[in-house]
Structure 1
Amino acid sequence: PVIIMDIKDCFFSIPLDKQDSKRFAFTLPSVNLQEPARRYQWTVLPQGMKNSPTICQMTVAAAIQGVRKDNPTAVILHYMDDLLLSAETPEKLEIVAMEVI
């Protein structure tokens, strides 16, 4: 048996350290420059940044490391925010899935 999972809004679920937030700042001008431009800072991992996929991959790997250790016979594969779980029996697969969740 196999279960495929997708982590909803994975990138946006990874918080940035407050000290790093300023490094992810951006400015948006107002319409027709009617008022000063507004400056914003990301507080979570933004999509599109060069290292975001690597950070996402590492974060998910760290999060499921304990499940892999506790269930050595189960197959747990992940790529970014997608997970594939497989186990010998449906009952064991359900246990693994609940641990991942």
Structure 2
Amino acid sequence: MADRDDFDRRLQEARARQGLEAAPKGRGGGLPGGAWGIGFRVGVELVSALAVGLAIGWALDRWLGTGPWLLMLFVVLGVAAGVLNVYRVFMPRSGPR
């Protein structure tokens, strides 16, 4: 039985060093920041990137008199930036190995 206890202790220490300990179950369903927090962050990322692209495109079009072309370009760039930010939320970089 001592071997089993020793194995469990070493396994728990290794999991803690690697950051693999399970998050405590709480109101958020066990997700870091909670499911509502992640959903809110994703929404804010998408809307803010689109709003910044829209504002830059509109301002450049008014300043340069280029019609809707820069507005359309920066809206597309804003959407792309928002999708990239959402991708980064769900696929975080792995740490050094």
Q: TM-score, normalised by structure 1?
A: 0.30
From the two aligned structures, give the one with the greater strand fraction: 1
Greater gyration radius: 2
From the two aligned structures, give the one with the greater helix fraction: 2
Q: Which has the higher contact order (CA 8 A, sep 6+)?
A: 1
